[in-house]
Amino acid sequence: MGNIAKSNLGRTEVALTKLSFGGAPLGDLFERISETQAQMTLQAAWDVGVRYFDTAPFYGYGKSEHRFGQFLREQPRKEFVLSTKVGRVLRATRDLDNFDKGLWAGGLPFDVVFDYSYDGIMRSYEDSLQRLGLNSVDLLLIHDLDHLFHGSDARITAYMTQLCTSGWRALDELRSSGQIKGVGAGVNQLGTIPRFLDMVDLDFFIVAMPYTLLDQDVLDVEFPQCAEHGVGVVIGAVFASGILATGPTENALYAYAPAPAEIWEKTRRIEAICDRYDVPLRAAALQFPLGHPIVAAVIPGALKPEHIQSNMEMFEHHIPADLWTELKAEGLLREDAPTPFDDCPNG
């Protein structure tokens, strides 16, 4: 078994392995994979020492939760931390011929209904336990309450009102009763964190895009506010949905869309500096967020065991301090961006 260092998540009593596992790919994100491959991938993560696993009802419309549960319920419950999400309720589709799987190449035949009310959150929580086959999860997150999924300020305001007037009571009850150990929110865009902090008493955020080697605007307002409130952060999408893993290739993705020219060029320049220090771009992208003191973990996904092994190698790869210094000198990294110590983050 591997030995990955742990970090406390904000003001909670939960400790996360700094390298952990994000569950979207095991919902058949863009690519359908077999049950055998999914279980082998989870086993590979366990074998290298990963002990924090994040999933959601949205991932494959329940498929990711089923797969995580199949594996994790065979492991000692006290040895791992598990998070899932609320805000969507799944209902069996009544129109298979026209069912839209969306992002999920092999998603299950369930329609998604957004519901941030007390009843909706409690149903989502109980349904997740059933899919997982477990009697508890450690952490619950409010999922995707932003423009990326709701489009307009009016819809976001309506759902925020539903959350604050009804749904928050469910999360507070679950936390205060000890059924869960922390409440968080998953965010994709700038401006979302301050709104949450003004309205509800969160313990942490999973930040899916705005803090990577390519983007550090959260350092202006969002992260200082988190630090002030004792709120922890987990970083998803460390590879910016693709380009920081593949490099500036012809079909590179950024924010789940083709990378614009300025992002492609910035990535090319960052990769050129990494090459001079014999550091893979993926290693720099994976380790960079862990330099910030409020970041407890990164949660890259994986589709196969080889991805897990590669992530572990990138996590352990030695990165000289001079690399971060040069990135800042060239204007490719913010001067105030904290960077990891000059040794491997799990040492």
Residues known to be catalytic:
54, 59, 85
Q: What is the DSSP string of 287-313?
A: HGGGGSTTEEEE----SSHHHHHHHHH
46: left (phi over 0), alpha (psi -120 to 50) or beta: alpha
Residue in the structure block whose two tokens are 């009763």:
177
H-state helical runs in the chain: 35-48, 63-72, 118-132, 147-150, 153-162, 168-176, 192-199, 222-229, 243-246, 261-276, 281-287, 305-316, 321-329
Query: Helix, strand, or coil here: 28?
Result: coil
Spatial contact of 99 and 109, defined as CB atoms under 8 Å apart: yes
Q: Which helix (H) or strand (E) holds 88?
A: strand 88-92
Query: Which residue from 48, 52, 9 is spatially nearest to 315, judged by alpha carbons?
Result: 48
Residue in the structure block whose two tokens are 């959350």:
163
Report how far residue 325's alpha carbon sits from residue 335's, in angstroms, rounded to the nearest whole number: 9
User: DSSP character for 19?
Assistant: B
